[in-house]
Amino acid sequence: MHPSSPPLTGVPPVCRPDPHAGERWTFGFPGGLTAEVHTRGARLHGLWAPDRWGTPADVVLAPRDPARTATTARYFGSTVGRYANRIAHGRFSLDGTAYRLTTQETGHCLHGGTDGFDTRLWEAESVHTPEWTGVLLRLRSPDGDQGFPGNLDVTVSCLVGRNDELAFSYTAVTDAPTLVNLTNHAYFNLEGEGAGDVLGHELAVDASHYTPVDADLIPRGDHRPVSGTAFDLRRPLRIADALARPGAPGGYDHNFVLTPRGAGTPRRAAVLYAPATGRRMEVLTTEPGLQVYTAGQFDGTVLGKSGPPYGASAGVALETQHFPDSPNRPGDPSTVLRPGEEYRSRTVLRFGVRD
């Protein structure tokens, strides 16, 4: 299958084995979205969406060499956990017990630790209804995994709808008090992966506050209003213009505190739009936060699926989440899951076009 061509649309999904990716599942509906998911890392590897002229292109970044997902492209499109984002110094206390997690080179725990969910081979099965098609992925994380307490059973469904939506639904249960914060780490370029950077895209984020961070991207102080800062994206703004504002050197890698709506129902978090192609992606979520990462650290060492290397701002990640380091910040929404409870999270990416 040529990487720039849409995969076969499977109804129900089509599965192909791959020594690096585990199983590759492709699914979608004719004339609409088509997705490719890999079971290693429960990873969104590709997503073909039509532009304003009806021509599909893959809008998700992924490396040409799947083995790169173990190194420089580790998080591309993956499900990250147990804890998405950072826990300072890999330490937290829960019910009076101190825990120590595995840490990366910065000395902090990022996206679940050195061997997080992105490295695991998930079990998968087909899901198909008249309106939705896709895969259900399952993983057991044992007690002590990366330092986290409790056996955790996780399910992630990735479904394409007839109305051009891609929906991620997450559930988890535990047999001991633990932390859970899951998300998908896809990078999007609505002009097509490999088409260049996303600086010409327009981005809006429904957030009145953001989380300032230190040099290690660990939160410092309280959440601050976006008004009058580089983080005011309440109205659509070209990413290039947003990053030209003082206060966001190197681009965004920050948590935005989403404007509360009704609990348990996905509400709009962000809108991404590419004027060159007319593609528009609306992000809806039940989560309280959104990590916006404009990939300012991409340096061209990862070759993309279509060939060109991914340079700075080749894509943008819009990671729905609870807040970074919230286990050590009592004022933030809790990420504690206890026996008898069920963790539930849902994020919907709604695609369309504008003239």
**Tokens 């979520």 correspond to what residue?**
285
Report which secondary-structure segment, H or E, holds 47: strand 43-50
Q: Are strands 34-38 and 22-28 parallel, antiparallel or unpaired?
A: antiparallel
Report which secondary-structure segment, H or E, holds 28: strand 22-28
**Tokens 């004719």 correspond to what residue?**
30
Q: Which domains does the chain have, with CATH numbers?
A: 14-353 (2.70.98.10)
What secondary structure letter does DSSP report for 6? Answer: P
Q: Cis before residue 12, ω within 30 degrees of 0? A: yes
Contact 319, 183 (CB under 8 A): yes
Q: Where are the alpha helices (DSSP H) in 176-323?
A: 239-243
Backbone torsions φ then ψ of 34, nearest 5 degrees: -130, 130
- C-alpha distance from residue 66 to each of 14, 70, 138, 271, 291 (Å): 19, 8, 21, 29, 25
pLDDT at res. 67: 83
Q: Tell me the C-alpha distance between 244 and 235, whole Å.
A: 16
What pLDDT tens digit does each residue of the chain (355 aa) get? 334 456 656 678 999 998 889 999 999 999 999 999 999 999 999 999 999 999 999 999 999 988 888 888 999 999 999 999 999 999 999 999 999 999 998 999 999 999 999 999 999 999 999 999 999 999 999 999 999 999 999 999 999 999 999 999 999 999 999 999 999 999 999 999 999 999 999 999 999 999 999 999 999 988 999 999 999 999 999 999 999 999 888 899 999 999 877 667 899 999 999 999 999 999 999 999 999 999 999 999 999 999 999 999 999 999 999 999 999 999 999 999 999 999 999 999 999 999 8
Q: Tell me the C-alpha distance between 143 and 145, whole Å.
A: 6
Q: Tell me the C-alpha distance between 36 and 26, whole Å.
A: 4
pLDDT at res. 260: 78
Q: Which residues contact 62 (CB under 8 A, 6 or more apart)?
A: 43, 45, 46, 69, 73, 76, 77, 193, 304, 305
Report which secondary-structure segment, H or E, holds 201: none
pLDDT at res. 341: 98
What secondary structure letter does DSSP report for 328? Answer: G
Q: Tell me the C-alpha distance between 311 and 48, whole Å.
A: 21
| Active site positions, annotated | 185, 319
Whether this model's pTM surpasses 0.85: yes
pLDDT at res. 294: 97
pLDDT at res. 66: 83
CA 274 to chain centre: 19
